[in-house]
Chains A and B, each alone.
Chain A
Amino acid sequence: MTPFESRALTAAIYLLVADGVAALYLGDLLGLPGFLLLLALVAGSWWQEPLRRLVEPIPRLGAVLVGLAGGVLVVEIVTAATGMLDVFTHLLIFLLLVKLYTLRSLRDARDVTFLAFFMLVAASPVTTSVVFLGLFVTFLVIGTWLLMLRHLLYEADIMAGPTGRIGREVLRLALAASVVTVLVTGLLFLLIPRIGQAALPLRPNVSRMIAGFTERVQLGAFGEIEADASVVMRVHLAGLSGASGPPERLPSLRWRGIAFDHFDGRVWTVSRSTLKLTLRRDRPVPFAVHRYYGGPVLTQEIYLEPIESQMIFGAPRLLQLDTRSDFVTIDDLGNVAVPLATARAHYTVESEPEADDPRQADVADARLPHDPRWQARYTQLPAVSPRIRALAREVTTGSRDAYDAARRLSAWLGREIAYTRVLERPSVEDPLEDFLFVRRAGNCEYFAASLAVMLRSLQIPARVVNGFQRGEWNPYGRYYMVRLRDAHSWVEVFVDGAGWVTLDPSPRAGAETVAAATPALLWLDSMRVSWYRYVVSFSLHDQLAVVETVRRSTLSWSAAALRPGAWRPGSKLAAAGLALVVALVLAVGWQRRRVGAGTEMPAFYARALRMLARRRLAPGAGETAREFAARVSAAAWAAPLAQITGAYERVRFGGAVLAPEEIVDVDGALARLALAVRAKGT
């Protein structure tokens, strides 16, 4: 092994190990201190030779050290490991360190490669980060290089032969092989059938706790709400049918999460009497959620980060839901929940956006129910301050109908009350009274709660809804990025003939000035979504879609190809160009083959030509061997030359290998030819 090869091998090993350790850190299988400690230990193993020279003279010290480390590992696994994955990770780290500190043979290099690979395996169930892609590709390139280099060195080692100084060449070859491996990996990833669902959770809890969206609205808290810019949801608008214009231009887009029907004076909750329906899916069909009123339909593909909620978000009114889960719970508030087993959810919903003026709608299914219990439920109120009731009446004086009253109240709140995220301690017992008459400022929850309470005080059915605002449009990925700070509350009021209609009294949009993301950030986020969309959440459904797309494209292309008259402008030119390229490739290939076949002239024929050259006989330009033999057929050497020419043609153009008897015959013919050439008078 040359010094270059040795250095290259060591560098590849340590790069691969670093990649594996980074994967463990990415998957949160190592904390920062553990990560740094492990890196230090790995770096320390670089000097394993001097360390081993120190340890080896002391009998059994090495074994004791390994035994101690093993003992610590067992204790650590028993006491600290929280799941199978942690045990696996700790075992990997232990084996890796043992290997690195005893690294001697090329076989150890192979073992280290496997261990680094399994570090990526360990990280894979607990991360969905796009950084994993970088680590994966890095591993692929370095791993290919290492395996190739190791193989060549190993072969040269066991054969006690030189490697032919091909170390640098291996690097180029490994890069080319890596590119091919990436392509084949992608193809196999697409083709391997997706079946089954998680049946063996490797780590029980992988979601993270975030604030912003909550499944209840509580008033009376104080302090400053921090605007968290973390993206929690990405909404790709897949299509809008029944309406014109791009779907992202739809007015008042928001993502409804949960509606509340019960208010106790401080907290809005979902009442216990809510009718809940758990649906189980037997076939791969979407779950129906709400009745369709006949308007346009907006399709949304949503990627939801792990939040401490099982709610399904989507533009109101949710018509149907398509998700991986076979169970869905729907209640009569229109709240939809699924048990989210994975760290990140991906689902598709169809919604029917609300009409601009709901009073013009006259849907039979959306009539005001005459059920007193229903009426009581959506007009339920605790003891409310008379000032609030009076304010509601005052603002809505002269209203034509319930919807007009609701709009007046909403407009009044937006006009008269200020939006703020700085909540001060209420000076009176009732937080709404404090909001409306004392502070006259608050966040969206106060606005929504005030409007709902005032509507209910007027016996207009209303409920508070939590969800997210529209978010920021990402033109690169064509989706809305919804951040934590976009969490929002609004009100749904029931309009006879139109059903539940959204009203947002909060003047939040005007109060908040949020810096838009830079193009680079938007592009990076779009890449992250692509990673998640096409790799992390790739499903059987997607596989079938790919197959269907390929099938349709093939059919449409083949059908179009048979009708040249129907080709689009330029297609004929492209087809002609393609045909030309194919013809050129074939011609060059044929020429190469022809030339290639002729590169090797058998030695016996070359010898025969040399003999004939003494008699100034040589094949002319463009003259074939057979023509040459025929030209000199009158001479005494015609017979042996014919025999040699026959053998020459079979070897050179037929690729034949002469049998021993044939070689003897050819040798004889050469001898006869030599005699004939030397003889005088011929």
Chain B
Amino acid sequence: MSLRALLARLRPQRTIRPTRDGWWCLGAAIGLGFAAVNTGNNLLYLLASLLLALIVVSGILSEQSIRRLRVRAALPEEIYATRPAWLGARVLNRKRWLPSYSVALEAGERRLYIARLAAGAERLVTWEATFAARGRQRLPGMRLVTRFPFGLFLKAGRVVLDDEVVVFPAVRPLDAAWRRRLAAGSTRSLRRRGRGHDLYNLREYRAGDDYRLIHWRSSAKTGTLTVREMEAETATNTRIVLVGDGRRDAARREAALSEAASLAVHLLAGGAAVALAGPGLHVGPGRGRAHQHRLLTALALYDPAITGPPAGRRTAGMSEIEVALG
């Protein structure tokens, strides 16, 4: 057994800290104990014993409340830098008979309170968090705490949920220049309804249609509200190439990675196959949600320390967009 494992085993399962009320109670118990010893009065001994018993019972009940609670992370599949994400934890009461009362998941100032968790029940608690940067990020870590039953002591379990998560680069809507560039050069229409730019058909307005799609001239001619239906369009299959290593200017590098991620998401949403290449980095062409996850993971884990030419080869029939890391 390694030293670290040994120390981890020796570390107490719980930490206990008196609250302000707890300090009062301890002070009163000590004062009464002093008075009892000084006077030899057994009723004072009895009252001092009561305060000490309350402390003992508080320890028993709080332990009963916090024991056999399992906390499991319930994290979203995709977490983007600078965008609020809802993180979650599932708290399961594994006791067979006894409910848990007044427990909270606590991380710093944040407290997620559960008034009662029945035996065998599970409760999902969620909170919002925003990660400032992409890459592997460690969750702040939470502890199960309870002040039950009297609010005299704060009992806390070990830190849980301090795992690492992969935070994708920030994905933003493409600016007008990018949209024009993609629309001019590399999009193609499909002969079906969609959200493209070319007109597919005109039809009568139906409740729920976007007002912006009303074709006013036709509506004036026919006397009935008429709306445009647009053609679906898809972007051209594209290989995004990261150029440079971005070691000199971290801000520019991160902006470039964010831009690459935004491009990838936009293109994939348009139905295109997207590949990614960069220094020590290669993701082959693909479509769909799983592929988007792979692309964003690669971008999230991009390490500027790795240098070299972009890995992988250009695939035939794919256009190429270069993104300069600086």
Residues of A within 8 A of B (CB): 110, 114, 117, 120-121, 124-125, 127-128, 132, 136, 140, 144, 147-148, 150-152, 154-156, 159, 161-164, 166, 169, 173, 177, 180-182, 184-186, 188-189, 192, 194-202, 342, 535-538, 592, 596, 599-600, 657, 660
Q: Which among B37, B52, B57, B115 is the interface contact of A163 at CB below 8 angstroms?
A: B115
Q: In the complex, what residues of B have CB within 8 A of residue A152's CB?
A: 101-102, 115, 148
- Asked whether B113 lies within 8 Å of A159 as measured between CB atoms, the reply is yes
The one of A127, A196, A536 in contact with B37, judged by C-beta atoms closer than 8 angstroms, is: A196
Cβ contacts B128-165/A at 8 Å (1 or 0 each): 00000000000000000001111100000000000110
User: What residue in chain B is nearest A120 (Cβ atoms)?
Assistant: B47
- Report how far A151 CA is from B37 CA in the complex, Å: 32
Q: Are B115 and A535 in contact (CB under 8 A)?
A: no
Question: What residues of chain B lie closer than 8 Å to A173, measured between beta carbons?
Answer: 101, 149
B 40-52 to A, binary, CB cutoff 8 A, 1 in contact else 0: 1111111111101
- Is B21 part of the contact surface with A, judged by Cβ < 8 Å? yes
Tell whether, in the assembled complex, residue A185 and residue B37 are in contact, meaning their CB atoms are under 8 Å apart.
Answer: no
Inter-chain contact B49/A114, CB cutoff 8 Å: no
* Distance, CA A132 to CA B50, complexed state (A): 14
Q: Which residue of B lies closest to A540 (CB)?
A: B40
Q: Would B147 and A151 count as touching, CB distance under 8 A? A: yes
Q: Which residues of B contact A124 (CB under 8 A)?
A: 41, 43-44, 46-47
Given A592-B96, A660-B163, answer yes or no on A147-B47 (Cβ-Cβ < 8 Å): no
**CB proximity of B144 to chain A, nearest CB, Å:** 14
Could you list some 6 contacts between A and B, CB below 8 A? A127-B43, A150-B151, A155-B102, A184-B52, A185-B46, A192-B36
State whether the Cβ of B56 lies closer than 8 Å to any Cβ in chain A: yes
Residues of A within 8 A of B120 (CB): 599
- Tell me whether B116 is interfacial, beta carbon within 8 Å: yes
Binary A-proximity of B235-266 (CB < 8 A = 1, otherwise 0):
00000000000000000000000000000000
A202: which B residues are within 8 A, CB to CB?
Answer: 39
CB distance from B49 to the nearest CB of A (A): 4
Q: Smallest Cβ distance from A471 to chain B, in angstroms?
A: 26
* Chain A residues closer than 8 Å to B147, beta-carbon distance: 151, 155
B127 in contact (CB, < 8 A): no
Interface residue? B32 (CB, 8 A): yes
Q: With A147-B151, A159-B104 in contact, do A121 and B39 touch (Cβ < 8 Å)?
A: no
> Residues of A contacting B38 with CB < 8 Å?
196, 198-200
Interface range for B: 35 or more
B182 interfacial by beta-carbon distance below 8 Å = no
Cα separation A185 to B57 with both chains bound (whole Å): 10
Question: B39 to A199, Cβ gap below 8 A?
Answer: yes
Report the minimal beta-carbon distance from A400 to chain B, rounded to whole angstroms: 55
Q: Which residues of B contact A599 (CB under 8 A)?
A: 120
B178 at the interface (CB under 8 A from A): no
Q: Does B24 contact A (CB under 8 A)?
A: yes
Q: How many A-B residue pairs have CB under 8 A?
A: 138
Taking a contact as CB atoms closer than 8 A, the residue among A114, A147, A200, A657 that contacts B28 in the complex is A114
Q: What residue of chain B has the Cβ atom nearest to residue A166's Cβ?
A: B116
Shortest B114–chain A CB gap in Å is: 8
Query: 8 Å CB contacts to A: which residues of B96-131?
Result: 96, 101-102, 104, 111, 113, 115-116, 120
Chain B residues contacting A161 (CB-CB under 8 Å) are 113, 115
Q: Is the CB of B48 within 8 A of A177?
A: no
The interface of chain B, by Cβ under 8 A from chain A, is 21, 24, 28, 32-33, 35-50, 52-54, 56-57, 60-61, 72, 94, 96, 101-102, 104, 111, 113, 115-116, 120, 147-151, 163-164
> Which of chain B's residues has its CB closest to A156's CB?
B115
Q: Are A125 and B44 in contact (CB under 8 A)?
A: yes
A110-B21, A159-B113 given as contacts; is B57 within 8 A of A536 (CB)? no
The residue of chain B having its C-beta at the shortest distance from the C-beta of A151 within the complex is B151
Question: Which of these, B46, B50, B94, B151, contacts A181 with CB under 8 Å?
Answer: B50
- Contact A155–B115 (Cβ < 8 Å): yes
Are A125 and B41 in contact, with the CB atoms below 8 A?
yes
Q: How far is the CB of B301 from chain A (nearest CB, A)?
A: 14
Chain B residues within an 8 Å CB radius of A592: 96
What's the minimum C-beta distance from A194 to chain B, rounded to whole angstroms? Answer: 7
- Please name the residue on chain A nearest to B37 by beta carbon: A196
Give the residue of B41, B53, B61, B148 whose beta carbon is less than 8 angstroms from that of A188. B53
- Which 4 pairs across A and B sit closest by C-beta, in order of nearness? A124-B43, A159-B113, A164-B115, A184-B53
Q: Is the CB of A177 within 8 A of B39?
A: no
Q: Is the CB of A181 within 8 A of B57?
A: yes
**In the bound complex, CA of A414 to CA of B318 (Å):** 136
Contact B151 A200 (CB under 8 A): no
Query: Which B residues lie within 8 Å of A166 (CB)?
Result: 101, 115-116
B56 & A184 in contact (Cβ 8 Å cutoff):
yes
Q: Roughly how many angstroms separate A169 CA and B101 CA in the complex, as a whole number? A: 11
Give Cα A354 to B201, complex, Å. 130
Query: Please, how many angstroms separate the alpha-carbon atoms of A199 and B36 in the complex?
Result: 11
Q: Is the CB of A177 within 8 A of B57?
A: yes
Residues from chain A with Cβ under 8 Å of B42 in the complex = 189, 535-538
In angstroms, how far is the closest chain A Cβ from the Cβ of B270? 27
Which residues of chain B have C-beta atoms less than 8 A from A128's C-beta? 43
Interchain CB contact (< 8 A) of A162 among B94, B115, B149: B115
B100 to chain A, nearest CB (A): 11
Closest to A107 in B: B21
Which of chain A's residues have a CB closer than 8 A to the CB of B52? 184-185, 188
Pair A136/B46 contact, Cβ less than 8 Å: yes
User: Bound state CA distance, A121 and B54, in angstroms?
Assistant: 16
- The docked-state distance in angstroms from the alpha carbon of A197 to that of B42 is 11
Write the nearest CB–CB distance from A187 to chain B, whole angstroms: 8
Contacts A185-B49, A660-B163 known; A125 to B113 CB distance under 8 Å?
Answer: no
* CA gap between A114 and B116 in the complex, in Å: 27
Q: How far is the CA of A480 from the CA of B134 in the complex (A)?
A: 87
A147 touches which of B35, B48, B72, B150 (Cβ 8 Å): B150
Q: What are the residues of chain A within 8 A of B57 when measuring CB–CB? A: 177, 180-181, 184
